[in-house]
Structure 1
Amino acid sequence: MEKADSFATPTTVQRQFLSAVLDRLWPKLEWQVASSAVLDVGCGSGDVTVLQLLPRLPVDVRVVAADLSDSAIAHAASRFVEPRLLFLKLHIGTRRIQNTAVWRLGPYSKVFSFFSLQWEQRQRRAIKNINKLLCSGGETVLVLMSPTGLFGTYANVAKSAKWSSYLKDYQQFLSPYQLSDKLQDDLNIHLQQAGLSVKTCNEQEIVYVTEKESCAKETLAAMNPFLTCIPRDVRATFQRDCEEAAFKGGAAIARNLSKNRTTYTLTYNALVAHALKA
C-alpha cells in the first residue's frame, strides 16, 4: 500500500552503477524504429530519468516517466519541467494496461526500469505489459536489485514484537525474488515467456565502500522496503534498529582503520537485462 510520502530517490552508488550500465549498453541500442517515445517505469524522484536518460537520448525523442506513487509523480513534476518529459502514474503490474494514459501515449521504442521492478509482486504480468508497451523492434533495459541477506535482516526487524503491529502485512513488501536462488534464470524465463528476445541477462556485484557514515546509512535506508510504511514519529527509531541488525548480522560491515577513520562496506547484486521485441 502506498504511503503519502513513499517514493524512491536513488543513492550515489545506484547512480554511479546505472551510469556505468548505460554507458556500456547504450551503443548496442537501436534508434531506427517507428516510435519517438521512451518509457521509464518506476521513475521515483525523477533524478535518473532527467540526469541519466534525457542527456543520452536523441533530441527528437520524448520521455514518459511513470511511477505507482502519486507523491513521486507530484514531486518529480514539481522539480523537473522539460518540454520532452511527462510524468504519469502507472502500476506496471495492472491487468488493464490498455486502459492507462501511459498506453495511450505509446507504443514506445524503449522501456527502461531502474531499481524498481524487483518490488512488483506480479513479475510475469509486469514484463508482459512491458512487451505490450513496446513497438515492433523496441527494446527494454531493466536493472533490478537482487535480494540479499539485508532484505532478510530487515524482514526480521519488521516481524519482531517491537514493530510487527506496524507491519502486519510485511511480506507484500518483499521482492518476489527473495526466496529464489536462481535469480538470473527466473528473469530470463519471464522475459522469454513475455515474447522478448534476450540479448543480455546477468547478475553483477555492487560493492560500496565509504568513510562517511551518513552515506552508508543513506544506502541502507534506500534498500529498506519497509521504511516508508512506518509512521514518521517512530521511523528514525525503526531505521536505527534496522541499521544495528544489518551491522550485527554482517550485511553491512564497519572497519575501524584508526582512531578517527572507519570504512563502511555494503555488498549487493543487481540483475541487468537487455531484451528486444521482434
Structure 2
Amino acid sequence: MELPEDYIAGSSMQYRDTKHLIEEFKNELMQMHGKCLDIGCGPGQVTKEILLPLLPDDAEVIGVDISQEMVNYARKKFADKRLSYIVLDIESPNLPKDQIECYHNIVSFYCIHWCNDMWFTFKNIYKLLQPEGKALVMFLAYNIGFEAYIRLKPRFQPYLEDAHRYVPYFQRVRCKNMRASLQEILQNVGFKILHVSNREKSFEYSKTDLQNSAHAINPFVKRFPNEKMKKDFLEQLINEVMSFQDAHITLKNKNNQQDIILTYNLLVAYVQKPPAVA
C-alpha cells in the first residue's frame, strides 16, 4: 500500500463510496470549521478533490498517513494553500504532544479497518480531538476477498506470515453484530454517538480491474523478491477470490469474459467528544 499511482488507478470502489458518504454528510462537513485531520489520506486525491471543496473557507486540512511514500506523493500532486500532509501512525502508543487536542474535526475514509486494536485507535482519535470536536469515519467491516489471504498463506510462506493481520478488524475477530460492537467501543472510549450504521454495498469488477485493485491495496506485494513471484501471487489471489462459494460473490459472463460482483459491508460512525469538564 505504498504505491500511490497504483492506488489511485485501482481504487474506484473506495473513491465512489467516499464520494457518496461525503455527499450524504454534506451539511455536517460544511460546518467543520478550524483544523480538520484526514486519517489515512493516502495519495491525497480524495482529500484535495472531494473533502476540501466542501469545507468552509476558514478550514485547514491536515492529511496524515502511515506511509512516507503516500505523504510525499500527496505533497507533490495534491497540494493546496489550505492543505498539508504529514506522516502519522494512528495506532501509535506515543502520539506527538503537539497533536493532542489539536483538531476541531477528524475524518477517515477506508483506513481504520487496517488497525489492529480498534479501541486503541478510537482512543487516539479521541485524544487528537478538541473538546466538542467531531469525527466522521467510514471503513470496511467485511469483505470476503480478504479471506483469500488466509487461503494463500500456506502457499506463500514466509511472505504472508501475518496474513490474518490484514483482514478487516471486525471480520478478523468474527464479530456477529458489527454495528453494536462498534457502538460499544465508541461509548467505552467516551464519545457521544451521533450516528452509527452498518451498510451493505456492492461493486462490479472485471477480472483485470479486480487484479489492479488487489495490487493497489495489497500489503504483501513489496515483500516478493521479483516480478514473477509477485505476478504469480496476484493471479492466484484473484483466482482464489473468484472461486469462493459465498453470498458475497456473484460471477457473470459479460463481453466474453467473467466479471465479478463483490458485496461487502462498511461501518460508518459520526461521533463527538464531550465538552471539557469544568
Q: So what's the TM-score if we normalise by structure 1?
A: 0.86
Q: CA deviation at 1:8?
A: 5.0
1-side partners of 2:252 and 2:257: how far apart?
A: 9
Cα distance 1:27–1:55, how it changes in 2: closer, same or farther (>3 A)?
A: same
2-side partners of 1:277 and 1:45: how far apart?
A: 28
Q: CA deviation at 1:228?
A: 4.1
Cα distance 1:192–1:230, how it changes in 2: closer, same or farther (>3 A)?
A: farther
Q: Which amino acid aligns with 1:164?
A: Q
Q: Which amino acid aligns with 1:132?
A: K
Q: Deviations over 1:158-202 (max 9, x none)?
A: x12x30122223333333322222221221112111111111111
Instruction: Describe how 1:101-140 pairs up with structure 2 within 5 A.
Output: 103=99, 107-140=102-135
Match of 1:273 among 254, 269, 276: 269
Q: CA deviation at 1:30?
A: 7.2
Match of 1:219 among 199, 213, 216: 213
Q: So what's the TM-score if we normalise by structure 2?
A: 0.86
Q: Which amino acid aligns with 1:168?
A: E
State yes or no: 1:255 paired with 2:252: yes
SS in 1 for 2:131: strand
Cα distance 1:207–1:151, how it changes in 2: closer, same or farther (>3 A)?
A: same
SS in 2 for 1:44: coil
2-side partners of 1:36 and 1:93: how far apart?
A: 24
Cα distance 1:232–1:141, how it changes in 2: closer, same or farther (>3 A)?
A: farther
Counterpart in 2 of 1:149?
A: 144
Structure 1 residues not aligned, in runs of 5+: none
Match of 1:241 among 230, 236, 239: 236
2-side partners of 1:220 and 1:145: how far apart?
A: 15
State yes or no: 1:26 paired with 2:26: yes
Cα distance 1:136–1:208, how it changes in 2: closer, same or farther (>3 A)?
A: same
Cα distance 1:223–1:75, how it changes in 2: closer, same or farther (>3 A)?
A: closer
Q: CA deviation at 1:148?
A: 2.7
2-side partners of 1:58 and 1:44: how far apart?
A: 22
2-side partners of 1:73 and 1:226: how far apart?
A: 20
The answer to whether the 8 A contact 1:174-1:225 is kept is no
2-side partners of 1:214 and 1:80: how far apart?
A: 27
SS in 2 for 1:43: coil
Q: Which amino acid aligns with 2:264?
A: Y
Q: Deviations over 1:115-173 (max 9, x none)?
A: 1111111221110111111122211011111133221122211x12x301222233333
Q: Which amino acid aligns with 2:28?
A: K
Q: Which amino acid aligns with 1:256?
A: N
Cα distance 1:209–1:18, how it changes in 2: closer, same or farther (>3 A)?
A: same
Q: CA deviation at 1:235?
A: 1.6
Counterpart in 1 of 2:89?
A: 91
Question: Higher mean Cα deviation, 70-79 or 111-120?
Answer: 70-79
2-side partners of 1:226 and 1:266: how far apart?
A: 21
Q: CA deviation at 1:230?
A: 3.5
Counterpart in 1 of 2:67?
A: 69
Cα distance 1:79–1:29, how it changes in 2: closer, same or farther (>3 A)?
A: closer
The answer to whether the 8 A contact 1:66-1:90 is kept is yes
Cα distance 1:230–1:187, how it changes in 2: closer, same or farther (>3 A)?
A: farther
Cα distance 1:20–1:74, how it changes in 2: closer, same or farther (>3 A)?
A: same
Match of 1:59 among 43, 47, 57: 57
Cα distance 1:145–1:273, how it changes in 2: closer, same or farther (>3 A)?
A: same
Structure 2 residues not aligned, in runs of 5+: none
Aligned residues: 267
